[in-house]
């Protein structure tokens, strides 16, 4: 396994298929207390890779207490699915994804047998792209009937027209979402200054 902890990744750029900051593609392993800011994805061979700033994949792979701010995609045809990609049986916990901008899915992409728990996805902008398989762009996307999201807030996320774009997924995704706050006013203390703590 691996352990990546207490690291800051700022203004990292990926021109290939890997995430710009951390690509933890073989579980089991841990990514803990890491911050990724202003990461950028540019050209890549694979038109639909997962995870712009952070990708965790594999059974037993866990990212915990991580923060991803301001990740963006740049370039025509770049359709990175999620500032964070959680695939192959991995889990993302207690993490914040905010202020990111990407096509198809701007916040967290949740793949088969993977889970998102106790996270906040806020103030992300999802751009419309040409991939019909993903339907409407959303900030949080459940890509498989075995993907789950629990105890999570998804709020203040929009598409490129300004319409709400907080959560979506494959047919029946709603059954895999439990005890979450989706859309509406989550009563963040000061989202304009990146304070996504909840007011009393």
Cβ atoms of 12 and 20 closer than 8 Å? yes
What does the pLDDT read at residue 76? 47
Q: How far apart are CA 107 and CA 140, in angstroms?
A: 5
Q: 188-190 and 195-198 as β-strands: parallel, antiparallel, unpaired?
A: antiparallel
Please give the share of the chain, as a percent, with pLDDT higher than 90: 64
Query: What pLDDT digit, counting tens, does each position of 144-163 carry?
Result: 999 999 999 999 999 988 99
What does the pLDDT read at residue 80? 58
Name the pTM for this structure: 0.93
Q: Which two tokens mark 67?
A: 């923060």
- For residue 35, how many other CB atoms are within 10 A of its CB? 17
DSSP character string of 23-39 = EE-SSSEEEES-EEES-
What does the pLDDT read at residue 165? 94
pLDDT band at 46 (very low <50, low <70, confident <90, very high): low
pLDDT above 70 (res 49): no
Query: What pLDDT digit, counting tens, does each position of 66-100 carry?
Result: 999 999 986 545 555 789 999 999 999 999 999 99
Q: How far apart are CA 190 and CA 187, in angstroms?
A: 9
Query: What pLDDT digit, counting tens, does each position of 109-124 carry?
Result: 999 999 999 999 999 9
What does the pLDDT read at residue 79? 59
Q: How far apart are CA 71 and CA 91, in angstroms?
A: 20
Read off the DSSP letter of residue 83.
Answer: S
């Amino acid at each position: 396994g691996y352990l990546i902890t207490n690291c800051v990744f700022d203004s990292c750029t990926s021109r290939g298929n890997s995430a710009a900051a951390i690509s933890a593609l073989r579980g089991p392993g841990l990514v803990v207390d890491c911050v990724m800011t202003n990461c950028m994805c540019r050209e890549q061979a694979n038109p639909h890779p997962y995870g712009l700033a952070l990708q965790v994949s594999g059974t037993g792979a866990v990212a915990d207490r991580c923060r991803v701010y301001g990740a963006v995609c740049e370039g025509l045809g770049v359709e990175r699915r999620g500032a964070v990609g959680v695939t192959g049986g991995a889990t993302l916990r207690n993490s914040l994804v905010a202020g990111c901008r990407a096509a198809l899915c701007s916040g967290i992409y949740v793949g088969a047998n993977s889970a998102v728990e106790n996270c906040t996805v806020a103030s992300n902008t999802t751009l419309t792209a040409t991939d019909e398989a993903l339907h409407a762009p959303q900030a949080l996307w459940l890509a498989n009937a075995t993907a789950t999201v629990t105890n999570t807030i998804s709020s203040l996320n929009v598409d490129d027209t300004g319409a709400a774009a907080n959560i979506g997924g494959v047919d029946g995704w709603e059954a895999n979402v439990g005890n979450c706050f989706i859309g509406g006013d989550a009563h963040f203390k000061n989202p304009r200054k990146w304070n996504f703590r909840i007011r009393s």
